Structure 1
C-alpha cells in the first residue's frame, strides 16, 4: 500500500498499523500491531491486522479458535469445504478450534480486522498451504456474478 493509499484510509484505521509482515504465511503486504500481548493475566492475545488489496494469509488452524472483528474495508473469509464469505466493517467472525480457514482483503479493497486468539494455552497457530493466485482471482468473478 503506497503512502497515498495509506492517507486515503485516514481515520478508517483506528489502531496503529504496526509492522509489515515478511514471511511465507502471507501473500501481498500485511501489517500487524500487537494490541494485547499473551500473558498469564489476560491470556488473550489481540492484534490489529491490515491487508492491502489482494493480500491474504495461508490456510491455517488455531487450536483454541479465533475471533475476527472487522474494523474496515472488505475482504474474504473461508473455512475448508465451505463457500467463501464476504466480510466487511462491523462483521464478527467466530472461528471454532482447529477449523482450517483463511482470510484476507478483496482484490479491490484493503481490509483491517482485530484478531483475537482464543484459548492460546491450547497451542500455536498451524500454518498450511497458500491460497493460490488462480483460486483467489476467481473469487472476484464469482462475487460479480
Structure 2
C-alpha cells in the first residue's frame, strides 16, 4: 500500500502549448509500468480549454465541479456538468474545458500506450469554441 499525503504533490499551471486560458493540474496518480494509469485533477477558469488532442487508449473524465463543454472533431459542442462522466474512444480527436462564464473541474483518467498518454494537436480557435 502507498498513501500519497494531501499537499505532497504540487499543483502546477498547465502548459500554454496544450491549453488556452488558465488551467491548474494536480496529479492524483501515475502508476509505474507495467501499469499504465494516469489520473489528474484539472481545474479550468471560465473560457479555458484544452487544445485538440487524442489518447491512444482513450480517456475518461469525471466532472467534479462546475459546468463545461466537450467536443469531438466531427461532433457538436456538448455541455457537461458536475457528476457527468465522459468517455472518449482510443484515438478520438477532442477537446474539453470550462464554459464561457463558469469554471469547471474534472478528473482526467487515461492509460499510456508505449509511454504515451496523449497526442497534442492544434489549438481550439475562438470560433470553434463559440460554436
| Same-fold status (TM-score > 0.5) | yes
CA distance in 2, matches of 1:33, 1:44: 15
SS at match of 1:73: strand
The residue aligned with 2:73 is 80
Equivalence for 1:121: 113
For 1:65, the equivalent position in structure 2 comes to 58
Number of aligned residues: 123
- Choose between structure 1 and 2: higher strand proportion: 2
CA distance in 2 between partners of 1:121 and 1:127 (Å): 15
Deviating runs (4+, > 2 A) in structure 1?
Answer: 40-43, 121-124
CA change 1:121–1:22 in 2 (3 A) is closer
Q: Would you tell me which structure has more helix in proportion to its own residues?
A: 1
Q: Tell me the TM-score normalized by structure 1.
A: 0.78
For structure 1, list consecutive stretches of 5 or more residues without a partner in the other structure: 1-14, 140-145
Structure 2 residues without counterparts, runs of 5 or longer: 1-5
Matching of residues 89-108 of structure 1 within 5 Å = 89-108=82-101
- SS in structure 2 of the partner of residue 135 of structure 1: helix
Contact preservation (8 Å) 2:110, 2:117: no
User: Residue 27 of structure 1 is aligned with which of 20, 38, 47?
Assistant: 20
Partners of 2:26 and 2:125 lie apart in 1 by 26
Q: What TM-score comes out, normalization by structure 2 length?
A: 0.86
